[in-house]
A = this chain, B = another copy of it.
């Protein structure tokens, strides 16, 4: 027997329409590159997003077409987050921190038709422009830097659209609304296509009291980039709930962040630990400058926050909630919230618990898989995290070799190694074996290795993540030269920089006579990691 309930689709269109009706005068502010603040309301945002939707349809957007953005976190990006899906298009956020060639590859692979780009990011665009074929480039006068007469001005585009725009009534919740590429799990970026349904359900989960606790009384500061993993889904969740929004623009230094948080009355923020380490340092330097009389909820993810960071920020009334997820999981899958009975625990035990990846949010299911089957929930036995749920990717976009990322029974294989304890808390004990996590971004060691091994002098190379006080990990390359060949670190670095962004390059090159291998001939990186675990980064300059 079927339920006799309405077949009402879960779309961001509803989220948008409701926000316009209920939260018209709620504020949205954005910091411009010159540090001034642009302010407007949900009513303005809705009018402009409608104009955008109408305008992109008028210039020829068809259902399902991709519209790329190369933008910082600010209100025009939010307009694109809604305006593009409202028009039936797919928002494709380009990661401006990738190497220009990789951005071009991603835009071409996604078959993006239009690009919306911040004027201040045109220099990046120019670096890959020649390798792409956008039908139209729309420039947002975000920095008011007067560039780009040759491209269309975003404001002119909006002027050509209509405020009376309404989205199609027959929107399907399984239609694509947005798209984001992973930053290189096996060296090649892969596209994840989010359905309306996934974004809506993720928003519900994110807003729950035990996750982000989002209310219309909240003032939310999404510091994690809207160009990667959708600022952790906050743009959609916040508009669903009607929170005030505060966007940092490109001003991500700790002092400006703290100034913004105090002057705007921020109640919730999100960013990777690296950002909060900077905030911690600023607070230590000037302990009297910034005061938070009410607790601020900080969603912290991308890598595990150090316990000392959680403790120190607690003292400043900045309360870290550790969340874990990936581009493939929309992204929030677990949060390190405490259970009711843990309220009575000693402070240190609570801190340890909060530093864990935590428990799955509603409708995310996880299991820890080992060659012999599912690992017990004993907090000791590690295995690969497999995950499923309505906002977990079931495939990559147009990707020929991807089957190995899903189990035969349909779970996504995260590549992360973790334990789970009897309380259901996940703790990642090893990063996925081939990835380096640097400042919340992933660097593919395989990609670096493969490129290095393309150098004439290199016989074999391994790149591993080595603990780093600031970035959590930085890549270190262990290189075996061909017999009789010679190469200096600087030469290898220059060679790699043809393909990789600067932050992806190994910070050190070590030369060895051989590399350890498994019995089946695979690189035994674990051994290398052990060998270089105590690497002293102060020696960097010498090695470089």
Q: Which residues of A contact B (CB under 8 A)?
A: 1-8, 10, 14-15, 17-18, 21-23, 25-26, 63-64, 90, 174-177, 192-198, 200-201, 204-205, 207-210, 213-217, 240-242, 244, 330, 337, 339-341, 343, 359-360, 362-363, 365, 377, 388-397, 410, 412, 423-424
Copies of this subunit: 2
Contacts of A330 in B (CB 8 A): 5
Partner of A363 from B10, B194, B198, B363 at Cβ < 8 Å: B10
Partner of A340 from B7, B14, B197, B216 at Cβ < 8 Å: B216
Looking across the interface, which residue of chain B has its beta carbon closest to that of A199?
Answer: B3
Asked whether, in the complex, the Cβ of B2 is within 8 Å of the Cβ of A176, the reply is yes
How far, in whole Å, are A7 and B194 apart by their CA atoms in the complex? 12
In angstroms, how far is the closest chain B Cβ from the Cβ of A264?
A: 13
Asked whether, in the complex, the Cβ of B215 is within 8 Å of the Cβ of A210, the reply is yes
In angstroms, how far is the closest chain B Cβ from the Cβ of A356?
A: 14
Asked whether, in the complex, the Cβ of B244 is within 8 Å of the Cβ of A1, the reply is no
28 sampled A-B residue pairs with Cβ under 8 A = A1-B63, A2-B174, A2-B193, A2-B195, A4-B176, A4-B195, A4-B393, A4-B394, A5-B174, A5-B198, A5-B391, A6-B393, A6-B394, A6-B412, A8-B389, A10-B363, A10-B390, A14-B365, A18-B365, A22-B424, A201-B204, A204-B205, A207-B208, A208-B208, A209-B209, A209-B215, A210-B215, A216-B340
A197 and B1 in contact, given A216-B339, A363-B10 (Cβ under 8 angstroms): no
Asked whether, in the complex, the Cβ of A423 is within 8 Å of the Cβ of B22, the reply is yes
How far, in whole Å, are A339 and B22 apart by their CA atoms in the complex? 9
Looking across the interface, which residue of chain B has its beta carbon closest to that of A173?
Answer: B3
Contacts of A377 in B (CB 8 A): 21
A4 and B397 in contact, given A10-B390, A340-B26, A423-B22 (Cβ under 8 angstroms): yes
A392 and B5 in contact, given A21-B424, A240-B362 (Cβ under 8 angstroms): yes
How far, in whole Å, are A14 and B128 apart by their CA atoms in the complex? 46
In angstroms, how far is the closest chain B Cβ from the Cβ of A26?
A: 7
Looking across the interface, which residue of chain B has its beta carbon closest to that of A397?
Answer: B4
Asked whether, in the complex, the Cβ of B3 is within 8 Å of the Cβ of A177, the reply is yes
In angstroms, how far is the closest chain B Cβ from the Cβ of A412?
A: 8
A197 and B3 in contact, given A8-B389, A216-B339 (Cβ under 8 angstroms): yes
Asked whether, in the complex, the Cβ of A193 is within 8 Å of the Cβ of B390, the reply is no
Looking across the interface, which residue of chain B has its beta carbon closest to that of A424?
Answer: B22
Counting chain B CB atoms within 10 Å of each CB, the highest count among A210, A213, A391 belongs to A210
Contacts of A388 in B (CB 8 A): 6, 8
Contacts of A240 in B (CB 8 A): 362
Asked whether, in the complex, the Cβ of A6 is within 8 Å of the Cβ of B410, the reply is yes
Pairs A-B, 6 closest by C-beta atoms: A3-B195, A1-B64, A209-B215, A204-B204, A5-B198, A8-B390
Looking across the interface, which residue of chain B has its beta carbon closest to that of A17?
Answer: B365
